[in-house]
Amino acid sequence: VEETLVLVKPDGVARNLTGEILRRIEAKGYSLVDVKLVQAERSLLTQHYAEHEGKPFFGPLVEFMESGPIVAFRVAGNRVIEGFRSLAGTTDPSTAAPGTIRGDLGRDWGVAVQQNLVHGSDSPESAARELALWFD
């Protein structure tokens, strides 16, 4: 069975949305395999976001991800990598579709750039790489 890494970012944890996000994952039929609450170190975040190094939003993104605890979920299910990304919705919450995590719960990026509640691995290769980073 396929596995993915889901992160509830610091905005999601601070807004007490961890349970609501997990509820949506479980309601879809995916299974929680492992979970941890992490205050992420810079080295973990720069590895996690290595593909974005050099982009203008990289520094602010890492700072935001360091700003408070993150909840990491290891989630299993049939086609869960693609499936979770469709549950999450598009990157910018202000245009994410209703019914998605970001569309229903996300803040307008005009006032809260970087803050879009969740991360989900985008391919089998990134899921394997990211699960190894966050869960050893």
Contact 35, 72 (CB under 8 A): yes
**What secondary structure does DSSP assign to 112-125, as a single string?**
STT--SEEE--SHH
Q: Which stretch binds ligand ATP (CB under 6 A): 14-22, 25-33, 74-82, 117-125?
A: 117-125
119 is catalytic: yes
Q: Is residue 33 near ligand ATP by the rule CB under 6 A? A: no
Q: Is residue 46 near ligand ATP by the rule CB under 6 A? A: no
Of 95-114, which residues contact ligand ATP (CB under 6 A)? 113-114
CB within 8 Å of 46: residues ≥ 6 apart = 53, 62
- Give the other-Cβ count within 10 Å of 29's Cβ: 10
Check whether 9 is labelled as a binding-site residue: yes
Q: Which of 120, 127, 130, 131 binds ligand ATP (CB under 6 A)?
A: 120
Rounded CA gap, 127 and 108, in Å?
28
Question: Which positions are catalytic?
Answer: 119
Residues that bind ligand ATP (CB under 6 A): 57, 61, 91, 113-114, 116, 119-120, 122
